Structure 1
Amino acid sequence: MAYAAVASVSETLSLILNHHQYAVFLDQKRRLRSLHQHLKFLRAFLEDFPDKAIHLEGRIRDAATEAEDIIEHLLSEEIRSWSSTGGGGGRPRTVHPSPHRTANSISRRLQKMCQQLPKAAEVVGSIVEEVMGIKNSLGAVQDPQVLTHSSPPTTSSTALVPTKKYDQKIDAMVGFEEDLLATKTRLYGGSSKLEFIPIYGMGGIGKTTLARNAYGDSLIVEHFDIRAWLTVSQDYSVQQMLFALVDSIKPFNEKFDGEKHSYEQMSEQVYKSFKGRRYLVVLDDMWSTKAWDDVRRILPDDSNGSRIIITTRLQDVAAYADSSSPLHEMRFMDVDQSWILLRQKVFNEQHCPAELESTGMMIARSCKGLPLAIVVIAGILKTVSQTQASWEDIAKKVNLAVSAKDEQFGRILSLSYTHLPHHLRPCFLYMGCFPEDYEIHVSKLVQLWMAEGFMKPSVSKSFEEGAEEYLEDLVKRSLVLVNRRKSNGKIKSCSVHDLVRDLCIRKAREEKFVLYALDRYVDRILPKPIKDQHRLSIPRSTMLLFQNIFTPTIRTALYFQHCRLFPSSLKGFRLLRVLDAQKVTVMKFPAEVLELFHLRYLAFTRGYDDLCIPASISKLENLQTLFIYPYGGDNAFYSAICFQAEIWRMAQLRHLVFFMLDPLPSPCPRSFALENLQTLALLLNFRCSERIGQIFPSLKKLGLIYGKDRVLNWEFYGLHNLVHLHQLEKLKISMPISSWESHSPTWIPESRVPLWEKLAFPRMLKKLTLGGFMLSQQDMATIGSLPNLHVLKLRRCSFRGGKWETTEGEFAQLKFLKIESTNLKHWVTDSSHFPTLERLLLYHCPELYEIPNVIGEIPTLELIEVKSWDEFLGNSAKRIKQEQEDSGNECLRVRILK
Structure 2
Amino acid sequence: MAYAVSHSLIQTINRILNLDAKKYPISDEGKQRIEDLLARIKTIKHFLEKYPKESASFETDVSNAANQAEDVMEHFIYEHYRWNLKADKMAAVGRPRNRTEILYDFRELNIVMEEITPIAEKMAEIQRKAEQQHGVRPATTSSSAPLPPPEYETVTVGLEKYLKNIKDLLCGQPSSLRQIVPITGMGGIGKTTLARTVYEDEDVITDFPVRAWIVVSHNYKTENIFGELLYALEKQIPENLVDKSETVENKLHRILTLKKYLIVVDDLWSTKAWDDIRKAFGDPKKCDGSRIVITTRDENVASHVSSSPPHKMELMDSKDSWTLLKLKAFRDRDLALDMKKIAEEVVVGCGGLPLAIVLIAGILSGAEANTEAWGEIAKDVKSAVENDHEFGKRIALSYTYLPVDLRPCFLYMGGFPEDHEIRISKLIKLWIAEGFVGDENEAKDYLNKLVRRNLPLITSLKSNSEFKSCNIHDMVRDMAKSQALDENYERRLSIGHPDLTRLARAYASTLRSCLTFQPNESSLGGLRKFKLLRVLDVVDTDAYSLPAPVFELFHLRYLAFGCPMEVPYAISRLQNLRALIVRPSKRLRHHSNDNVDLPLEIWMMPLLTHLVSFYDLLPDPKGAASALKELLTLSVVKKLICTEQMMGLIHNLKKLAITYFGDKYPNEDYQLHNLALLTQLEKLTLVVKKGSLLQMKAWPVFPETLKKLTLSGWRFPWEDMKAIAALPELRVLKLRDHAFEGGAWSTIEEDSDDEGELFVKLEYLMIEESDLEKWETEKDHFPALKRIMLSRCGKLKEISKDIGNILELKLIEVDRTNESLLESVQGIRDTQKEVYGRVFVVRQL
The structural deviation recorded for 1:471 is 0.7
> Counterpart amino acid of 1:501?
R
Q: Which residue of 1 aligns with 2:308?
A: none
CA contact (8 A) 2:667 2:696 kept: no
Q: Does 1:685 align with 2:647?
A: no
The structural deviation recorded for 1:452 is 1.0
Distance 2:231 2:692 in 1: 69
Which of 627, 641, 658 is equivalent to 1:673? 627
Distance 1:766 1:732 in 2: 11
SS of 2:689 mapped into structure 1: coil
Q: Does 1:662 align with 2:617?
A: yes
Q: Which residue of 1 aligns with 2:459?
A: 483
The structural deviation recorded for 1:811 is 0.6
Q: Kindly tell me: are residues 130 and 789 of structure 1, through their superposed partners in 2, closer, same or farther at Cα, counting changes over 3 Å?
A: same
Identity fraction in percent: 35
Q: Does 1:49 align with 2:29?
A: no
Distance 1:753 1:181 in 2: 59
What is the 5 A alignment of 1:550-699?
A: 551-563=508-520, 566-607=523-564, 611-631=565-585, 638-666=593-621, 668-669=623-624, 672-691=626-645, 694-699=648-653
CA contact (8 A) 1:375 1:478 kept: no
Distance 1:588 1:572 in 2: 18
The structural deviation recorded for 1:337 is 3.6
SS of 2:715 mapped into structure 1: strand
The structural deviation recorded for 1:726 is 2.0
Q: Deviations over 1:139-165 (max 9, x none)?
A: 289xxxxxxxxxxxxxxxxxxxxxxxx
Which of 462, 477, 483 is equivalent to 1:507? 483
Which of 655, 678, 684 is equivalent to 1:725? 678
Which of 90, 112, 120 is equivalent to 2:112? 120
Q: Does 1:853 align with 2:801?
A: yes
What is the 5 A alignment of 1:237-256?
A: none
> Counterpart amino acid of 2:2?
A
SS of 1:658 mapped into structure 2: strand
Q: Kindly tell me: are residues 546 and 34 of structure 1, through their superposed partners in 2, closer, same or farther at Cα, counting changes over 3 Å?
A: closer
> Counterpart amino acid of 1:557?
C
Q: Which residue of 1 aligns with 2:717?
A: 776
Distance 1:175 1:545 in 2: 47
SS of 1:761 mapped into structure 2: coil
Which of 476, 495, 501 is equivalent to 1:537? 495
CA contact (8 A) 2:725 2:758 kept: yes
Q: Kindly tell me: are residues 469 and 118 of structure 1, through their superposed partners in 2, closer, same or farther at Cα, counting changes over 3 Å?
A: same
Distance 2:598 2:402 in 1: 44
> Counterpart amino acid of 1:381?
S
SS of 1:773 mapped into structure 2: coil
SS of 1:481 mapped into structure 2: strand
Q: Which residue of 2 aligns with 1:26?
A: 27
Q: Does 1:79 align with 2:81?
A: yes
> Counterpart amino acid of 1:641?
V
CA contact (8 A) 1:556 1:578 kept: yes
Q: Which residue of 2 aligns with 1:37?
A: 39
Which of 103, 106, 119 is equivalent to 2:101? 103
Distance 1:537 1:418 in 2: 23
What is the 5 A alignment of 1:186-201?
A: none
Which of 429, 433, 451 is equivalent to 1:451? 433
Distance 1:52 1:704 in 2: 53
Which of 856, 859, 872 is equivalent to 2:820? 872
Unaligned runs of 5+ in 1: 92-97, 142-172, 183-202, 210-330, 348-352, 364-373, 396-401, 458-462, 515-532, 738-749
Q: Which residue of 1 aligns with 2:122?
A: 130
What is the 5 A alignment of 1:307-346?
A: 332-333=193-194, 335=196, 337=198
SS of 1:61 mapped into structure 2: helix
> Counterpart amino acid of 1:589?
L
Q: Kindly tell me: are residues 778 and 419 of structure 1, through their superposed partners in 2, closer, same or farther at Cα, counting changes over 3 Å?
A: same
> Counterpart amino acid of 2:529?
G
SS of 2:812 mapped into structure 1: strand
> Counterpart amino acid of 1:772?
G
Q: Kindly tell me: are residues 814 and 594 of structure 1, through their superposed partners in 2, closer, same or farther at Cα, counting changes over 3 Å?
A: same
The structural deviation recorded for 1:90 is 11
Q: Kindly tell me: are residues 887 and 704 of structure 1, through their superposed partners in 2, closer, same or farther at Cα, counting changes over 3 Å?
A: same
Q: Deviations over 1:737-759 (max 9, x none)?
A: 4xxxxxxxxxxxx7574695863
Q: Kindly tell me: are residues 830 and 509 of structure 1, through their superposed partners in 2, closer, same or farther at Cα, counting changes over 3 Å?
A: same
Q: Which residue of 2 aligns with 1:285?
A: none
SS of 1:83 mapped into structure 2: helix
Q: Kindly tell me: are residues 780 and 868 of structure 1, through their superposed partners in 2, closer, same or farther at Cα, counting changes over 3 Å?
A: farther
Q: Kindly tell me: are residues 629 and 565 of structure 1, through their superposed partners in 2, closer, same or farther at Cα, counting changes over 3 Å?
A: farther
What is the 5 A alignment of 1:88-99?
A: none
The structural deviation recorded for 1:50 is 1.3
CA contact (8 A) 2:577 2:608 kept: yes
Distance 1:376 1:551 in 2: 47
Task: Compute the RMSD of aligned alpha carbons.
Answer: 4.2
Q: Kindly tell me: are residues 809 and 375 of structure 1, through their superposed partners in 2, closer, same or farther at Cα, counting changes over 3 Å?
A: farther
The structural deviation recorded for 1:765 is 0.9
Distance 1:30 1:694 in 2: 41
Which of 743, 749, 759 is equivalent to 2:700? 759
Distance 2:647 2:470 in 1: 34
Distance 1:390 1:437 in 2: 44
The structural deviation recorded for 1:420 is 1.7
Q: Does 1:706 align with 2:660?
A: yes
Q: Kindly tell me: are residues 887 and 136 of structure 1, through their superposed partners in 2, closer, same or farther at Cα, counting changes over 3 Å?
A: same
Distance 2:787 2:223 in 1: 41
Distance 1:657 1:4 in 2: 28
Which of 409, 412, 436 is equivalent to 1:430? 412
What is the 5 A alignment of 1:808-827?
A: 808-827=756-775
Which of 468, 474, 477 is equivalent to 2:444? 468
CA contact (8 A) 1:757 1:779 kept: no
Superposition TM-score, scaled by structure 2 size? 0.69
Q: Does 1:9 align with 2:9?
A: yes
Q: Kindly tell me: are residues 39 and 543 of structure 1, through their superposed partners in 2, closer, same or farther at Cα, counting changes over 3 Å?
A: closer
CA contact (8 A) 2:188 2:394 kept: no
Q: Which residue of 1 aligns with 2:423?
A: 441
The structural deviation recorded for 1:13 is 1.6
SS of 1:56 mapped into structure 2: helix
Q: Deviations over 1:611-665 (max 9, x none)?
A: 3311111111111111110247797774321122211221221111011112422
Q: Which residue of 2 aligns with 1:222?
A: none
The structural deviation recorded for 1:887 is 2.2
Q: Kindly tell me: are residues 90 and 623 of structure 1, through their superposed partners in 2, closer, same or farther at Cα, counting changes over 3 Å?
A: farther
Distance 1:375 1:618 in 2: 58
SS of 2:275 mapped into structure 1: coil
Distance 2:722 2:12 in 1: 49
CA contact (8 A) 1:798 1:823 kept: no
> Counterpart amino acid of 2:389?
E
Structure number with higher relative contact order (C-alpha < 8 Å, ≥ 6 residues apart):
1
The structural deviation recorded for 1:870 is 3.7
Q: Kindly tell me: are residues 585 and 820 of structure 1, through their superposed partners in 2, closer, same or farther at Cα, counting changes over 3 Å?
A: farther
Q: Kindly tell me: are residues 385 and 655 of structure 1, through their superposed partners in 2, closer, same or farther at Cα, counting changes over 3 Å?
A: farther
CA contact (8 A) 2:572 2:601 kept: yes
The structural deviation recorded for 1:855 is 1.8
Q: Kindly tell me: are residues 177 and 79 of structure 1, through their superposed partners in 2, closer, same or farther at Cα, counting changes over 3 Å?
A: closer
Unaligned runs of 5+ in 2: 134-154, 165-185, 205-211, 217-221, 233-263, 282-293, 296-358, 360-385
CA contact (8 A) 1:827 1:851 kept: yes
Distance 2:548 2:499 in 1: 20
Distance 1:824 1:137 in 2: 75
Superposition TM-score, scaled by structure 1 size? 0.65
Q: Which residue of 1 aligns with 2:285?
A: none
Q: Which residue of 2 aligns with 1:60?
A: 62
Distance 1:581 1:858 in 2: 48
